Amino acid sequence: MPSAQCKKGPAIAGLALALWALSWLSSAGAADGPVARGKYLVRAGLCIACHTDYDNKGAELAGGYAIEVPFGIIYSTNITQDPETGIGRWSDEDFLRAMRKGVGRGGRHLFPAFPYTSFTNMTDGDILAIKAYLSTVRPVRKENRAPELTAPFGWRFLLAGWKWRYFEESPWTLDPDQSVQWNRGAYLVQAVTHCGECHTPRDWAGGLNREMLMAGAADGPEGETAPNITPHKATGVGDWSVEDMVELLKSSYKPDGDNVQGLMERVIVHGYEHMTDEDLTAIAVYLRSLPPIDHRVE
Please report, as ranges, the residues that interact with ligand HEC according to CB under 6 A.
45-47, 50-51, 67, 74, 76-77, 79, 87, 95, 98, 104, 110-111, 113-115, 119, 130, 193-195, 197-199, 220-221, 224, 226-227, 229, 237, 248, 254, 260-264, 267, 272, 283, 287
CB of 199 to ligand HEC, least distance (A): 6
Nearest CB to ligand HEC, comparing residues 174 and 279: 279
Nearest CB to ligand HEC, comparing residues 110 and 208: 110
CB of 175 to ligand HEC, least distance (A): 19
CB of 83 to ligand HEC, least distance (A): 13
Nearest CB to ligand HEC, comparing residues 19 and 209: 209
Nearest CB to ligand HEC, comparing residues 23 and 91: 91
293: left (phi over 0), alpha (psi -120 to 50) or beta: beta
CB neighbours of 104 closer than 8 A, spacing ≥ 6? 98, 110
Nearest CB to ligand HEC, comparing residues 130 and 186: 130
Q: CA 112, CA 167: separation in Å to the nearest integer?
A: 9
Nearest CB to ligand HEC, comparing residues 212 and 248: 248
CB of 192 to ligand HEC, least distance (A): 7
- Select from 220, 161, 231 the least CA-distant residue to 196: 220
Burial profile 128-138: b = 16 or more Cβ within 10 angstroms, e = fewer: bbbbbbbbebe
Q: CA 21, CA 113: separation in Å to the nearest integer?
A: 30
Burial profile 95-123: b = 16 or more Cβ within 10 angstroms, e = fewer: bbbbbbebbbeeeebbbbbbbbbbbbbbb
CB of 166 to ligand HEC, least distance (A): 15
CB of 130 to ligand HEC, least distance (A): 5
What is the distance between the terminal CA atoms of the chain, rounded to a whole angstrom? 52
- Select from 29, 61, 92 the least CA-distant residue to 279: 29
As to burial, measured by CB atoms within 10 angstroms (0-12 exposed, 13-18 middle, 19+ buried), residue 50 is buried
Nearest CB to ligand HEC, comparing residues 17 and 192: 192
CB of 112 to ligand HEC, least distance (A): 8
Nearest CB to ligand HEC, comparing residues 25 and 46: 46
CB of 205 to ligand HEC, least distance (A): 16
CB neighbours of 115 closer than 8 A, spacing ≥ 6? 194, 197
Cα Rg of the chain, angstroms: 20
